[in-house]
Amino acid sequence: MVLTEKKYTAEATAEGAGRNGRVVSHGDAALDLKLATPKALGGSGDGQNPEQLFAMGYASCFLGALQLVASKTGKKEAAQNAKIHTAVHLGSPEGFEGFGIGVDIKVEGLDDTELIKAAHEFCPYSRALRNGVIVNVSKA
C-alpha cells in the first residue's frame, strides 16, 4: 500500500535489551514504557511487550473505524456502546523461521455483521495486515 499523503506520523525509539529494554514515543502525550518478555515466553513479565501494544493499538483503531463507518451510514447509535476485544498471538509461522503474529478481533455490543465487515475494510490496521505496507529500513 502506498500513501499519497501523510496526515500524521507517530514516532518511537526502542533501546536497551530489545524485548527487555525501553520504548519511548515522541510528541504529544509521549509514553515511556519498560519492556519485558512475557512469562509465557520465559521472561519476567514485569513490563509491557510489543504484542500488548499492538493489541491495544489495533483495538482502538478498529473501534474508531467502526464508529466512523457507523456514523457515515446513519447507524451512529448502533456502534456507540461497542467494545473491541483483540488477541494478538505470537507463534511459529508456517514456512518461515522465527516468529509470526495472528490476530483475533471480537466485537461486543453490536450485531450488525455488515457494519463490522465495513469497519474491517476501513480500519488502517486491518488494511495493513491484509494488503501489506511499504517498510523503509535504513541506517540513522
In order of their start, the domains of the chain are: 1-48 (2.20.25.10), 49-139 (3.30.300.20)
Contact 99, 92 (CB under 8 A): yes
C-alpha cell at 7: 496526515
Report the Cα–Cα distance between both ends of the chain, in Å, rounded: 24
User: For the whole model, what pTM was predicted?
Assistant: 0.93
- List pLDDT tens digits, range 49-100: 999 999 999 999 999 999 999 999 999 999 999 999 999 999 999 999 999 9
